[in-house]
Amino acid sequence: MLFYLLRRLLYAVPIALGVTLVCFSLVHIGPGDPLSSILPPEASQAIVDRMKREYGLDQPLPLQYLIWLGKAAVGDFGTSIFTGRPVLAEIAPALVNSLIIAVGGALLGFLLGIVFGTVAGYCHGRPADRFFTAVAITGVSVPHYWLAIVLVIVFSVELMWLPALGMTGSGGTEFTFSGENFRHMLLPVIALSVIPMGVVARTVRAQVAELLNMDFVDALRSKGLGEAKVFRHVAKNAAPQVLAVMGLQLGYLLGGSILIETVFAWPGTGLLLNNAIFARDIPLLQGTILALALIFVALNLLVDVVQAILDPRIVR
């Protein structure tokens, strides 16, 4: 097990390095000039050159990459060109904010997904199966930004029950676990939960339906085990695959949904990325992508380990 863990950790290193290279190159290959977000269009070449020198953008790209990597390795992601604030100070609170709705969305989505999937799996081929499968397919197919806009129109604009945007009514960006915070997070959480709900429901349904047809289930039943106990065996056997899917879904959610966070002006990494892209704020863009990619790598690692614990055959 320890060897397996070490091997997975070692795999993660080249992946992380590859991620840094890809995110650095992609950001620099894109059209546009990183300084044009802060310089008026008529800024003279002399001014552009001076600013480039100040931000180190006059260096050759490989050198810029190495300097950036060296600094990022010790936690210095540079300074945002657009705001002049340290990138880390921008990313850290945004990550926490994305985490809050991601966890909320994941919990709601996973819970509904497991319930719907299990019911559908048990009622394979019957109307209940068709109904919950339709719900799951709808969850996966409906564009969640569209759903977000519909939720805003219904609950904020028409009914005026819930706020349309932000994290607090006073524009705060810190989650203080107040009732107001929870009211603001409700719509984004619902909008975020539909895709994981659909994906998890479909996986759970397929797993449950397949496992119920297996010989060991007949054997358990013939031994006189109650349905609740049989279900525990089924759940344990379905867990590794469902967990892998959940891990990936949580990873996607943690990455912050650019669209959902933009629609709800939720101050997370998605909104930060969106703003950084439009402002061509390269240090912020690189820092945010890197942080998210590393979280994704770490989360995959975690899922692998948990899967190995649940199903020791994976280690072999």
Partner 1 sequence: MLHANKRIGAFRRLAGHASAAALLAAAALAGPAFAAEEKVLRIGMTAADIPTNVGQPDQGFEGFRFMGYMLYDTLVLWDLSKADLPAKLMPGLATEWEIDPDNHNRWIFHLRQGVKFHDGSDFTADDVVWNFRKVADPEAPHYDSKQAALAAVRIPALAEVNKIDDYTVEILTKEPSAYVPYQVSFWFMSNQEQWEKVGSWAEYAKSPTGTGPWKFVSQTPRAQVEMIPNKEYWDPDRVPQVDRVVLRPIPEASARVAALLSGQVDFIEAPPPDAIPRLKASGMNIVTNAYPHNWAVEPSLKEGSPWRDVRVRKAANLCIDREGMTQMLGGLAIPSKGHMPPGDTWFGKPTFDIRYDPDAARALMTEAGYSSDNRASVKIAASTSGSGQMQPLPMFEFLQANLNECYFDVQAEVMEWNALTSFSRKPSNEGEAVAKNINGSIISRATQDPYSALERVFMSSRIPPNGSNWGLVQDPFYDEMLAKAASTFDLEAQDEILAQVHAYAVDNAQWIWVVHDVNPRALAPHVKGFVQAQSWFQDLTPIRIER
Kindly list the residues in this chain that would bind partner 1 in the complex (CB under 8 A): 31-33, 36-45, 47-48, 50-51, 54, 82-85, 90, 149, 152-153, 156-157, 160, 163-167, 169-173, 262-265, 267, 271-272, 274-275, 278-280
In this structure, the number of other CB atoms found within 10 A of the CB of residue 173 comes to 14
**255 torsion bin: left (phi>0), alpha (psi -120 to 50), beta (else):** alpha
Give 33 or 227: the residue with its C-beta nearer to partner 1: 33
Place of tokens 């390269």: 282
The CA-CA-CA angle for residues 205, 209, 211, to 5°, reads 120
Integer angstrom CA distances of residue 159 from 37, 143, 155, 156, 185: 39, 23, 5, 6, 17
Q: Six-digit token pair at 229? A: 């106990």
Smallest distance from partner 1 to CB 52, Å? 11
Smallest distance from partner 1 to CB 154, Å? 11
- Among residues 274, 284, 296, the alpha carbon closest in space to that of 266 is found at 274
Smallest distance from partner 1 to CB 63, Å? 22
Give 31 or 127: the residue with its C-beta nearer to partner 1: 31
Give 39 or 306: the residue with its C-beta nearer to partner 1: 39
CA 41 to chain centre: 36
**DSSP 8-state code for residue 79:** B
Sign for the CA dihedral angle at 71, 77, 83, 84 comes to negative
Give 136 or 167: the residue with its C-beta nearer to partner 1: 167
Smallest distance from partner 1 to CB 33, Å? 4
Give 237 or 275: the residue with its C-beta nearer to partner 1: 275
Smallest distance from partner 1 to CB 275, Å? 4
Contact 91, 273 (CB under 8 A): no
Give 50 or 126: the residue with its C-beta nearer to partner 1: 50
Contact 189, 264 (CB under 8 A): no
Measured CA to CA, the distance from residue 272 to residue 144 in angstroms comes to: 19
Contact 107, 250 (CB under 8 A): no
In this structure, the number of other CB atoms found within 10 A of the CB of residue 63 comes to 10
Smallest distance from partner 1 to CB 165, Å? 5
Residues sharing a CB contact under 8 Å with residue 34, sequence separation 6 or more, in sequence order: 55, 57, 81, 280, 281, 282
Smallest distance from partner 1 to CB 262, Å? 5
Give 261 or 304: the residue with its C-beta nearer to partner 1: 261
Give 203 or 269: the residue with its C-beta nearer to partner 1: 269
Smallest distance from partner 1 to CB 79, Å? 10
